[in-house]
Structure 1
Amino acid sequence: MTVQTNPELTSRKNAAIAKGVGMSTQIYAAKAENAEIWDQNGKRFIDFAAGIAVVNTGHRHPKVIEAVKKQLDCFTHTCHQVVPYENYVVLAERLNAKVPGDFEKKTIFTTTGAEAVENAVKIARHYTGRSGVIAFAGGFHGRTFMTMTLTGKTAPYKVGFGPMMNDVWHLPYPNELHGISMEDSLEALTRLFKSDADPSRIAAIILEPVQGEGGFVPAPEGFMKKIREICDENGIMMIADEVQTGFARTGKLFAMEHHGVAADITTMAKGLGGGLPISAVTGRAEVMDHAQPGGLGGTYAGNPLSVAAANAVLDVIEEEDLCARAERLGGRLKQRLAAVADKVPEIVEIRGPGFMNAVEFNVAGTKTPNPDFVKKVVEEALERGLILITCGVYGNVIRFLAPLTIQDAVFDEALDIIEASILAAKKG
């Protein structure tokens, strides 16, 4: 069989796949190991996207592969709601113990992050008997109709898809760089309660501890505690969307551990499956148990292969101390970026806990976002063999999501490429 080039495959893709499925690169993967990907023509790339924080434990981690192969030899699918299996129960027990919150918890499994968020909203509405949901500008929660409505970014997620769901409101998310303080966000919530949505109508407030698509913007110290207090005062469920922040990425297993409070309901996906599709919702037992049997679930929810992978992922995170490694890697990356910033005034902020890091670019000496500069950096890096992806409401942020298991030598190589690419973009 003749191996086609990336442009040839792109031509076939354009003819066969709907253009609404966007692509960050035109690289077609043939092989991947840990933090490296090889395309069909044998070119090597260092992966600083990790499938958008999915393979935190690296591509094809041996323990994950071994667990999946072992399960493959037993069975691939029964539908847990028809014929259940023990490893589903084991994974639920482990998440109940690990998700923040000093209270009894229960878990359900779903397949995607959006599906987890959909179910979290369903559960909150059923438990409270209310319909309203509050989300935040810049947040990303998925592309289904409810999660698209919750997402606080219009393009490309909402444009042309018609009316959004009812009873959803958005508040400004604290971002000092963009002139929004924590007090501004809390005042906006007070005004919302006074003008548009009585608190007794609100089932849930959903937010990311670190906004993902919104630009890797961490919630400021004290903000989560304030939201927790407001939820408690008004009988509102607090939902932490940990789909991108979960599983050691921020230096803790879950990002909410940085804030000293627990959500009533936590959604997770991405890093949980180590490359296999699985998501979960974990919450207070009395809240999770409120829905009637059959009200939750799905045919593929908690697929045996994905559950096996997830159990292995939790083992790897613990055995290899990936939370501590995330802190070390992120510290080194931010140190290198800070040194580059001395030469590149377009860099206006370097941020993010653990190894969930980002750098934001403006037009030098102004507050104007500079997505063109970001595009040049990404293109330069790709030419040098490094995959980078962007985020931010204005597209002027580069996020760094390499596997936490990346080899030191490969990481050093990537840091050199990042610096060279930013300096090359600066030269024009």
Structure 2
Amino acid sequence: MEFPHVSSALGIVHPLRIEQGVNAEVWDSQGHRYIDFVAGIGVHNLGHGHPAIRTALHHQVDRLIHAAFNATPHGGYLDLVAALDTFVPVSYPLTTMLTNSGAEATENALKIARAHTGREAVIAFDDGFHGRTLAALNLNGKVKPYKQSMGSLPGPVYHLPFPSPDNDVTDAEASAALVRLCEVSLPVDEIACVIVEPVQGEGGFRRLSPGFARHLRDFCNHHGIVLIFDEIQCGFGRTGERFAFSHLEVEPDLLLMGKSMAAGVPLAAVAGRAELMNAVPKGGLGGTYSGNALACAAALKVIELMSEDNLARWSQTVALAILAHYHTWQDSQRYPMIGAITGIGAMRGIVFEDTCNASGSEHLAALVSTAREHGLLLMPSGRKRNILRLFPPLTIEPEILEEGLSRLGRALDTLTP
């Protein structure tokens, strides 16, 4: 399918024209049905068109569609930031700024860290992803395609290896790299912030090591550095907890939220300790559409629906089904390209390895195409695009989940000689 009038710089994974979505199912302009394991790249944790979200939006449309909060504050914004103070599991009172997108939340977090510390340098991690705007680009731990042809990027930014149970980087190696960085390249008193995903999204659903997370927290405390957790993709229930940092037992100074925050209506946020959030001069934060009334209404309903019981049940259902099929595929020894499984809860990736006849990325590209022909939408990830990320809605019906995983198995059959 061709897309005239659309910039060719947009990389399209699935050349479709989607017209309708209900929970984990979507239909294209030709009426073809697909099971959606992409879910808006993690936006639809509650599925397409959750009835309670639709009702909240219809009600809000009849009351107020938009008011620019910087000029005329509205109740939805105020109600939502109050709800986030209760919903986000940190020990301190939460101060929040709403934004339109995750990248915008990232950019504002950098501004806040600079204003609070009076420093500029940032530490980020290999394979991380934090957005496509200019300053966010430099944080990303991957050149292609994000940093190509961009020239000099805002900085300074330094990258460390990402230690994880899902890769071969140890805590000791990452800690040694941090020591070396501060001895060779970067005075520690010039570091404004460290930004990291508790579970990498674009990087392949890899978990941050809890031990290294604690080391980072101690390092930042000792040197007056702001610790930023980017939960734009892994937050709002994807890992079985409200936020993935709960698995680490470490609190951030600033938290980035987005994607599934408002169930498909554009909304994100940067939130954290008041002394940081209030460090920027008055008027230095804001935006015309930031905290739009419709988006706030949707987010308030998302928070209401994401009770602890629901999150635990949804995550367990999705995780157990994925793990059962994965182990069946791996134990069969029919698919030599299938490597390790990554992630936690309902945030799972499958690594595709090189074989004698194709690279892992080639195997995954073929799988994504073939699965679409079987009525299943999938999404690649990883530096080499060789990690399949599975993103079914948390609310997916068990029978639809089983159908989707069975279709994935049939697509895998086409990869074997």
Deviates more, 1:314-323 or 1:41-50: 314-323
On the 8 A contact 1:136/1:207 being kept in 2, the answer is yes
Match for residue 125 of structure 1? 114
Partner of 2:340: 349
Q: RMSD of the TM alignment (CA)?
A: 1.5
User: What secondary structure sits across from 1:149 in the alignment?
Assistant: helix
Deviates more, 1:369-378 or 1:209-218: 369-378
Report the Cα distance in structure 1 between the residues aligned to 2:125 and 2:15, rounded to whole angstroms. 32
Which among 409, 412, 415 is matched to residue 422 of structure 1? 412
Q: How many residues are paired up? A: 415
1:107 counterpart residue number: 96
2:15 to 26, 41, 44: 26
Please state whether the residue corresponding to 1:22 is helix, strand or coil: coil
The Cα shift of 1:322 comes to 2.7
Percent identity, aligned pairs only, is: 37
Question: Counterpart of 1:218 in 2: which secondary structure?
Answer: coil
- Give 1:245's aligned amino acid: C
| Equivalent in 285, 292, 295 of residue 306 of structure 1 | 295
Q: Is the 8 A contact 1:100 1:263 kept in 2?
A: no
Q: Which residues of structure 2 form unaligned runs of 5+?
A: none
How far 1:100 sits from its partner (Å)? 3.1
Give 1:17-416 correspondences, 5 Å limit. 17-175=6-164, 178-318=167-307, 321-342=310-331, 343=333, 344-364=335-355, 370-416=360-406
Q: Report the alpha carbon displacement of residue 176 of structure 1 after superposing the two structures with TM.
A: 6.0
Cα displacement (A) at 1:354: 0.8
DSSP 3-state at the match of 2:344:
coil
Cα distance in structure 1, aligned partners of 2:120 and 2:354? 43
Normalised by the size of structure 2, how large is the TM-score?
Answer: 0.97
1:360 is paired with a residue whose SS is: strand
Q: Is the 8 A contact 1:381 1:418 kept in 2?
A: yes
Q: 1:61-83: CA deviations, max 9, x gaps?
A: 01111111111101211201111
Paired residue type of 1:265: L
Deviation at 1:365, TM superposition (A): 8.4
Is the 1:346–1:365 Cα contact (8 Å) retained in structure 2? no
The CA distance in 1 between the partners of 2:155 and 2:402, in whole Å, is 49
Distance in 1, Cα, partners of 2:185 & 2:308: 49
CA contact (8 A) 1:242 1:267 kept: yes
Query: By how many angstroms is 1:345 displaced?
Result: 2.4
1:45 match: secondary structure = strand
Q: Quick one: which amino acid aligns to residue 337 of structure 2?
A: E
Amino acid at match of 1:415: L
Q: Distance in 2 between matches of 1:146 and 1:211?
A: 19
Is contact 2:87–2:303 with CA below 8 Å preserved after alignment?
A: no
**TM-score, scaled relative to structure 1:** 0.94
1:58–1:178 Cα change, 3 Å:
closer
Letter in 2 for 1:77: H
Tell me the SS of whatever aligns to 1:352.
Answer: strand
Q: 2 CA distance for matches of 1:168 and 1:96?
A: 31
Residues in 2 aligned to 1:176 and 1:62: alpha-carbon distance in whole angstroms: 38
Name segments (4+ residues, structure 1) moved above 6 Å. Answer: none
Distance 1:96 1:188 in 2: 35
In 1, distance between residues paired with 2:168 and 2:97?
Answer: 39
Q: How far, CA to CA, are the matches of 2:312 and 2:291 in structure 1?
A: 25
- SS of residue paired to 1:312: helix
Distance 1:127 1:157 in 2: 29
> 8 Å contact 1:338–1:350 — kept in the other structure?
no
